[in-house]
C-alpha cells in the first residue's frame, strides 16, 4: 500500500487547532520558564538556607527525573491531594517548571559572571543590594544568556508534544486523532513534523530578533 497525502487536507482544521494549542502551551510555558528561571536563580544564589535547601531538592527532582513522569505527577498525582488542574494548566506548569530549572542554572552562572564593578557602581550611587540586582546585575546576566535560553525554548517546543499524553489536544495529539480515523500514520506524523518545523523556524526568527535588539547593550 502506497502513501497517500491527499487525506491530510481534510484534517487541516484539526491540525491547525493543534498548531494553535502547541503555540499557546509553548508560549505560556516559555514565559513561566523564563521568569521562573530568574526567580530560581535568585533563590539559589541569595535566599537563606531554609528556602535554598528545599529549592535544591526541587531542582534535583526536575533535572533528575523524566519530564513525562513530572507531567503525570502534576496532572494525575495532584488530584489525590485535591488539586485537580485542567490538562492545559498542568502541561504549562510541568513544562514551565522543568525548563525554569534549566534556565536558572544558566542565569545563576551569568549573574556570578557579571563584572563586580557593576554592583559597586550601583551601590555607590546609593542603591540597595536588591535594587542593584534587579536594575543592574540581573538584566545584564539575562542578556548574556539569551542564546542558550533560546536553545532551551526550542527544546521546550519539541517537548511540548509530551503533553499529548495528558490529553491536551496539541499538534501531536491532533495528528494521532487523525491517524485513528484514517489509519495513515506516516502521512499525519510527517505533516505534524513539517508543522513543528515551521513553528520552530518562527521561534528562531523571534529569538534572533531579540538577540539583535540586545546587541547595543553589551
Partner 1 sequence: MTDQTPFVEIRHAQKSYGDLEVLKDISLTVQRGEIVAIIGPSGSGKSTLLRAINDLDPLTGGEILLEGVQVNKTLPHRQYEKHINAMRQQIGMVFQHFNLFPHLNVRDNVTMAPKLLKGISSKEADKLAEEQLNHVGMLERIDYYPSQLSGGQKQRVAIARALAMQPKLMLFDEATSALDPELVEEVNLVMKKLAEEHMTMIIVTHEMDFAASVCDRVLFMDQGVVVEEGPPEKIFKNPDMDRTKEFLRKHLAGSK
The residues in 122-141 that bind partner 1, with binding defined as CB under 8 A, are: 122-129, 131, 135-136, 139-140
The residues in 179-198 that bind partner 1, with binding defined as CB under 8 A, are: none
Q: Is 117 a binder of partner 1 (CB under 8 A)?
A: yes
Q: Is 216 a binder of partner 1 (CB under 8 A)?
A: yes
Task: Select 41 or 136, whichever has its Cβ closest to partner 1.
Answer: 136
# binding residues, partner 1 (CB under 8 A): 23
Distance CA 133, CA 149 (A): 20
Task: Select 65 or 124, whichever has its Cβ closest to partner 1.
Answer: 124
Q: What is the DSSP string of 101-166?
A: HHHHHHHHHHHHHS-HHHHHHHHHTT--HHHHIIIIIHHHHHHHTHHHHHHHHHHHHHHGGGGGGG
Distance CA 74, CA 183 (A): 32
Q: Is 47 a binder of partner 1 (CB under 8 A)?
A: no
- Candidates 11-19, 24-32, 83-91, 118-126: pick the segment binding partner 1 (CB under 8 A): 118-126
φ/ψ (deg, to 5) at 127: -70, 145
Radius of gyration of the chain (CA): 21
Q: Is 143 a binder of partner 1 (CB under 8 A)?
A: yes
Q: Is 146 a binder of partner 1 (CB under 8 A)?
A: no
Cβ–Cβ < 8 Å for 99, 152: yes
User: How far does Cα 43 stand from its chain's mean position?
Assistant: 19
Give Cβ neighbours of residue 38 (< 8 Å, ≥ 6 apart).
Answer: 103, 104, 107, 138, 142
Please report how close the Cβ of residue 125 comes to partner 1 at its closest, in angstroms.
4
Q: Is 118 a binder of partner 1 (CB under 8 A)?
A: yes
Question: Which of 121, 194, 201, 210 lies at the binding interface for partner 1 (CB under 8 A)?
Answer: 121
Q: Binding residues for partner 1, per CB under 8 A?
A: 115, 117-118, 120-129, 131, 135-136, 139-140, 143, 214, 216-218
Amino acid at each position: 500500500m502506497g502513501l497517500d497525502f491527499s487525506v491530510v487536507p481534510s484534517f487541516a482544521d484539526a491540525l491547525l487547532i493543534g498548531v494553535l494549542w502547541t503555540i499557546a502551551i509553548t508560549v505560556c510555558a516559555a514565559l513561566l520558564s523564563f521568569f521562573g528561571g530568574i526567580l530560581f536563580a535568585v533563590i539559589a544564589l541569595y535566599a537563606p538556607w531554609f528556602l535554598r535547601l528545599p529549592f535544591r531538592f526541587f531542582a534535583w527532582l526536575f533535572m533528575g527525573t523524566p519530564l513525562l513522569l513530572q507531567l503525570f505527577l502534576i496532572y494525575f498525582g495532584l488530584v489525590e491531594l485535591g488539586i485537580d488542574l485542567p490538562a492545559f494548566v498542568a502541561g504549562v506548569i510541568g513544562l514551565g517548571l522543568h525548563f525554569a530549572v534549566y534556565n536558572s542554572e544558566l542565569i545563576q552562572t551569568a549573574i556570578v559572571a557579571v563584572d563586580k564593578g557593576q554592583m559597586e557602581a550601583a551601590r555607590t550611587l546609593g542603591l540597595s543590594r536588591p535594587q542593584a540586582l534587579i536594575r543592574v546585575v540581573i538584566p545584564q546576566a539575562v542578556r548574556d544568556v539569551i542564546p542558550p535560553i533560546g536553545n532551551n525554548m526550542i527544546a521546550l517546543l519539541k517537548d511540548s508534544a509530551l503533553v499529548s499524553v495528558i490529553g491536551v489536544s496539541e499538534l501531536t495529539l491532533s495528528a494521532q486523532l487523525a491517524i485513528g480515523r484514517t489509519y495513515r500514520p506516516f502521512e499525519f506524523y510527517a505533516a505534524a513534523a513539517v508543522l513543528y518545523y515551521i513553528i520552530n523556524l518562527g521561534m528562531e526568527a523571534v529569538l534572533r530578533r531579540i538577540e539583535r535588539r540586545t546587541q547595543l547593550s553589551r
